[in-house]
């Protein structure tokens, strides 16, 4: 596979994001390769899947590929956006998906990692949720995912500051299951994966789907949905949205005007 590597043995699948030239940015092509890998893992009866970056990575993923963010008045994070597809594919995958994190995780990659069933990270990893830095009106299900996983106080601090947070803050909030010295990370992940593989795949698959449905059981009235979408449109139609993306590529701080 082009931008991801795949390995499976003894029921344990390992998917390695492998586009270091683009810091594993979640481009359409990387996400497509990831989703194809996950589909193949189902066919090959993987009992657990580990998603990782190559050992020693300084950046786990730089998040959404900013070059693929539309600047022509289109919603940047619609239902069919590659990031949304990847999150749903992981959430619906019929077995546990473990995020094994080394390095820094940026923007939408934080949501991708949080959509996994467990996060095990090296103790020097960092997580930055960056829509406010880029001027991006994050979408409803993404914000809900952050809220459900991280809790509102931590999410507000991460979303409003758009700064990298050390992994211990996410461990304290219960977002990250374990943060260990990097040399212990792979052994711990494999230890947990081997414990999972010994148990009933049918029960685990049922439990995962039960937990997904119960935790997502927040119904939005059509009026509420439309109101939020209207607020989001005001942002992605704004000059600030264009400025955020332009500033990124010009490698300068954005000058947001609030319009
Ligand atoms: C395209 C990139 C990227 C990238 N896309 O290396 O959550 S939301 O709403 O914001 C959502 C829409 C989202 O996920 O947006 C993306 C959020 N990601 C970020 O804010 C991270 C942006 N990247 C960085 O802050 C730095 O690149 C890090 C800290 C990851 C690594 O810094 P480092 O100095 O090691 P460079 O910044 O020099 O990046 C190397 C090349 O990768 C490109 C970047 O433009 C540069 O390209 P050039 O060499 O052509 O200049 N790049 C980095 N991230 N997300 N391209």
Q: What is the pLDDT along the chain (259 residues), one digit of tens a residue?
A: 589 999 999 999 999 999 999 999 999 999 999 999 999 999 999 999 999 999 999 999 999 999 999 988 899 999 999 999 999 999 999 999 999 999 999 999 999 999 999 999 999 999 999 999 999 999 999 999 999 899 999 999 999 999 999 999 999 999 999 999 999 999 999 999 999 999 999 999 999 999 988 887 677 888 888 989 999 999 999 999 999 999 999 999 999 999 9
Cβ-contact 190, 13 below 8 angstroms: no
User: Which pLDDT value is given to residue 217?
Assistant: 67
In the chain the domains, ranked by start, together with CATH numbers, are 4-183 (3.90.226.10)
Angstrom distance (rounded) from CA 134 to CA 156: 16
Decide: residue 177, CB within 10 A, 0-12 exposed, 13-18 middle, 19+ buried. middle
62 within ligand 1 shell (Cβ under 6 A): yes
Please report where in the chains the tokens 């934080």 appear, as a residue: 110
Q: Please state the pTM of the whole predicted model.
A: 0.94
SS3 call for 224: helix
The CB-side HSE value for 127 (13 A sphere, CA atoms) comes to 29
How many residues in total does the chain contain?
259
What angle (nearest 5°) sits at the alpha carbon of residue 149, between those of residues 194 and 15? Answer: 40
Measured from the Cβ of residue 127, the count of other Cβ atoms closer than 10 Å reads 27
22: CA distance to ligand 1 center in Å?
Answer: 8
SS3 call for 15: strand
Pick the residue whose CA is nearest to atom 17 on ligand 1: 107
Which atom of ligand 1 lies at the shortest distance from residue 65's CA? 5
Tell me the H-state helices in 45-166: 82-92, 108-114, 131-134, 140-150, 152-161
């Amino acid at each position: 596979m082009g931008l991801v590597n795949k390995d499976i043995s003894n029921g344990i699948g390992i998917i390695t994001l492998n586009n270091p030239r683009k810091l594993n940015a979640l481009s359409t092509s990387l996400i497509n390769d990831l989703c194809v890998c996950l589909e193949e893992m189902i066919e090959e009866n993987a009992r657990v899947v580990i998603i990782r970056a190559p050992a020693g990575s300084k950046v786990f993923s730089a998040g959404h590929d900013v070059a693929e963010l539309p600047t022509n008045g289109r919603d940047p994070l619609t239902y069919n956006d590659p990031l949304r597809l990847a999150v749903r594919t992981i959430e619906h995958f019929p077995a546990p998906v473990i995020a094994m994190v080394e390095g820094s995780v940026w923007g939408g990659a934080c949501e991708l990692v949080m959509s996994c069933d467990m996060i095990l990270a090296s103790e020097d990893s960092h997580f930055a949720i960056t829509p406010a830095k880029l001027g991006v009106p994050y979408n409803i299900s993404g914000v809900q995912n952050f809220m459900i996983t991280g809790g509102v106080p931590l999410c507000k601090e991460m979303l409003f500051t758009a700064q990298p947070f050390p992994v211990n803050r996410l461990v304290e909030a219960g977002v990250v299951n374990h943060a260990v010295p990097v040399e212990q990370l792979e052994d711990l992940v494999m230890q947990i994966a081997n414990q999972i593989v010994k148990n009933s795949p049918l029960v685990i698959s049922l439990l995962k789907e039960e937990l997904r449905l119960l935790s997502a059981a927040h119904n939005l009235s059509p009026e509420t949905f439309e109101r939020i979408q209207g607020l989001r449109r005001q942002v992605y139609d704004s000059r600030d949205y264009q400025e955020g993306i332009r500033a990124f590529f010009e490698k300068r701080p954005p000058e947001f005007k609030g319009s």
